[in-house]
Structure 1
Amino acid sequence: MKSGVLKLVVKRLGIATITLLIVLFAVFFATSMLPGDTASILLGQAATPEAVAGLREAMHLNDPAILRFLRWLLGLLHGDLGTSYANDMPVAALIGGRFVNTMKLAGITTLISVPLALTLGITAAMLRGSLYDRAVTILSIGVISVPEFMVATLAVLLFAVYLKWLPALSSVNEAHSLTDLVRIYAMPVITLTFVISAQMIRMTRAAVIETLSTPYVEMALLKGASRSRMVLRHALPNALGPIVNAVALSLSYLVGGVIIVETIFNYPGIAKLMVDAV
C-alpha cells in the first residue's frame, strides 16, 4: 500500500516537473520572439550600433534561445534566478519583498476566511431548513457567481469613495502603526475572504448534512442526544475529509484571485509585479 502511494507521488511529481519545464521553455521562447531589441531599449535611441552590438554580446542575446534557456536553467538549479533587464537588479532580490507581501495577504485572508466559512457552514447544517440556513445558502450562491474584480470595485466604491473609511490603494510602505496596517489590508482581505469563503461554506454544509443523515447519527438524535454534541463529537470528524478538500480547493483559488486584487488595490505583491512586468 505504502509503496503504491509512493510510486503515485513520484509519478505525479515527475509529471509536474516535466510540465513545469515545458511551460518555462514555452514562455522563455515566446518572450524571445517578441519584437524589439533589449539592448537598444536599455541604451536608448542615442546609442551607437557598436554599443548596442557590444551589449548584446555581453548579455548573450546573440546566442540561440535554447542555449540561453539552458544557461538560465542551470543558474536556477544553483539558486540564481537571473537579472532583470528592466530593473537592472537580481530577480531574487526583486521578487523577495513582493513574495513576502503576497504571503502576508494570503495568510491573513486564510486566518479569517477558513474559521468564518467553517462556522457558517456547520451552523447552517445544524439549522437545516431554517431562515438562517436559507439566508446563508442564498448568500453563498450569490457570492460564487460574482467575480472578484466586481467585489473589489464595489468595495472601493463603498468604503473608499462613499463612506471614506478606508484608502482605495493599499500601500504597505505607508504603514506606521497597527491602525495603518489594518486600514491598508482591510479591503484586499475583505474582497478575498468574500470570494473564497462561499465555496467553503457550501461544501462544509453539504458534508455535515450528509454525515448527519447517516443511520447511527439519526438513531442517536432520536434517543435524545444533543444535536450540537453529535455534530462536534461525531458528524464533524467524519466530515473532515470533504471539508479539508473544500478548504484546499478554495485556498488554491486564492492564488488566482490575488492577482486581480493586488492589481485593483495597487498592493505591492508578487502578482502585481508579474502584471507590471508584462
Structure 2
Amino acid sequence: MHPILSTVLQRLGLGFLTLFFVSIIIFSSIEFLPGDFTEAVLGQTATEETVAAFRRELGLDKPAYVRYFDWIGSVATGDLGQSFSGRASSGVDRSRSVAELVGPRLANTLFLAAMTAIIAVPLALTLGITAALYRNSIYDRSVNAVTLSTISMPEFLVAYLLILILASLNPIFPSLANVTADTPFWERVYKCSLPALTLTLVIVAHMMRMTRAAIINLLASPYIEMARLKGLSPATVILKHALPNAWAPIANVIAFNLAYLVVGVVVVEVVFVYPGIGQLMVDAVTTRDIPVVQACALIFAATYIILNLIADIISIVTNPRLLHPR
C-alpha cells in the first residue's frame, strides 16, 4: 500500500475513534448539568408520581449507559432523536425532531461561516505574505500591531465595539442579525455584515501571523538562498518557491480557524441574536432540552474533527517524502 494511502487511512481511523470518545464526554457532561427537564416543565408543585411517569415517558428513567448506547446507535443511523420541547405530561406530544430544529440553524451558521471565510482567508493570506515580503518594515510592524490588538480582545468586546461604532453612532449596519428562511440573499448578507466582520477581525490575526511565520521560516532555507542568488525578485521567491512549501502549516491554521467559525460562533450569535446553531444550543441548555444539546455538541465536535482531518490530509499529500518514497 502506498505510504500516503496508509497514512490517510490511519488518520481517518483516529478521527472516528476521537469522535467516539468525544461523544462519551458530551453525554457524560450533559448528565452533570444542573436541573431536570421534567421538574422544569412540571414545576415544583408536581407530585413524585407525576415526575416519575413523565421521566418514564421521556426515557430518562433508564440507566445512563443504556441511554448512551440508544443515543449513539440512533445517531449512527442518522436519527438525532426527538426534542423535549413541546412535550407535556398530558400525553399530547407536540415535539419536533432534533434534525428539524437543527437543520435550518446549521444552515444559518454555515452561511455566516462561509461569508466570513470568503473575506478572512484571502485577506489573511495577503497580509501574511506581504508582511513576510516587507519584513521589519513600517507596514509589517503596523499589521502586527493591529492584529495583536484584535487577537487580544474577546469576541464579545469586538462585537459590542462594532455595534457601538457601526450601528449606534453611525447607523450603517443593523445591530441585530434577525434573519429568517425567507430573507432574500443580499438582505441576509447585509444583516450578517456585523457578525461576519466580528469573526473576520478575530480570525484574520491568527491566520495572518501563522502565514507570516511559516514563510519567514522557509526564507532561511538553502534553496531560497539559491533562488535569490539567481537574481529572482523577492515576490517571485515567496510566491513560487516559499509559499508552495508553506501550504502544510498554513492549511492547518486555515482549517483550525474554519472550525472555529462553526464551533466558536456561540458568543457572536448570542450577541447579535443570530438564529444559528450556537444560539440554539444556548437556548436548549437553558430549557434542559437534552437531545438538542447533545446533537449540537456532536455537530460541533464532528465539524472540528473533520476540518482537522482535511488539514492533516493536505499536509500528507503535499509532503515530498511521502509523494516520492525511496
- Alignment length (residue pairs): 275
Between stretches 245-254 and 156-165, larger displacement belongs to 245-254
Q: Name the aligned partner's letter for residue 203 of structure 2.
A: I
Which residue does 1:170 correspond to in 2? 177
Q: How does 1:1-278 map to 2 (within 5 A)?
A: 1-2=3-4, 5=7, 8-9=10-11, 12-13=14-15, 15-31=17-33, 34-36=34-36, 38=38, 41-42=40-41, 54-87=53-86, 88-173=95-180, 176-278=183-285
Aligned partner of residue 85 in structure 1, secondary structure: coil
Bigger radius of gyration, 1 or 2? 1
- Structure 1, residues 237-263: CA drift from partner, whole Å, max 9, x if none? 122222222212222333343111101
The higher relative CO (CA closer than 8 Å, separation ≥ 6) is in: 2
- Structure 1, residues 34-76: CA drift from partner, whole Å, max 9, x if none? 44461x6546789787766554443333333333333333322
Tell me, in whole angstroms, the C-alpha distance in 2 between the residues paired with 1:132 and 1:263.
Answer: 35
- Structure 1, residues 213-249: CA drift from partner, whole Å, max 9, x if none? 3333334334432222222211211222222222122
Residues 273 and 214 of structure 1: CA distance in aligned 2, closer, same or farther (over 3 Å)? same
CA root-mean-square deviation: 2.7
Aligned partner of residue 192 in structure 1, secondary structure: helix
Tell me, in whole angstroms, the C-alpha distance in 1 between the residues paired with 2:129 and 2:270.
Answer: 34
- Structure 1, residues 116-140: CA drift from partner, whole Å, max 9, x if none? 0000110111111221111111111
Q: Name the aligned partner's letter for residue 70 of structure 2.
A: R
Tell me, in whole angstroms, the C-alpha distance in 2 between the residues paired with 1:25 and 1:179.
Answer: 39
Aligned partners of 2:110 and 2:262 also within 8 Å: no
Tell me, in whole angstroms, the C-alpha distance in 1 between the residues paired with 2:49 and 2:222.
Answer: 83
TM-score, with normalisation over the residues of structure 2?
0.75
Tell me, in whole angstroms, the C-alpha distance in 1 between the residues paired with 2:262 and 2:102.
Answer: 16
Tell me, in whole angstroms, the C-alpha distance in 1 between the residues paired with 2:190 and 2:127.
Answer: 25
Q: What are structure 2's unaligned runs of at least 5 residues?
A: 87-94, 286-326
Residues 67 and 211 of structure 1: CA distance in aligned 2, closer, same or farther (over 3 Å)? closer
Tell me, in whole angstroms, the C-alpha distance in 1 between the residues paired with 2:247 and 2:12.
Answer: 26
Which residue does 2:304 correspond to in 1? none
Between stretches 19-28 and 159-168, larger displacement belongs to 19-28
TM-score, with normalisation over the residues of structure 1?
0.87
